[in-house]
Amino acid sequence: KRTVEDTWRHIGHLVETIEPGECKNYFANAGYASIKT
């Protein structure tokens, strides 16, 4: 991407492809999981 706006737009599209469970697993494995599960 050649502009900041295009880059952010592309990132936004990429974020939409992440499933909630995948996101949850990432944060849990990174050590950011809440103790109140």
| pLDDT per residue as tens digits for the range 1-37 | 689 999 999 999 999 999 999 988 888 899 886 666 5
Residue 32 pLDDT: 83
pTM (2 d.p.): 0.51
Residue 7 pLDDT: 94
Number of domains in the chain: 1
Q: Residue 20's domain spans which residues?
A: 1-36
Rounded CA gap, 21 and 4, in Å?
29
Residue 28 pLDDT: 86
Is 7 in contact with 1 (CB distance < 8 Å)?
yes
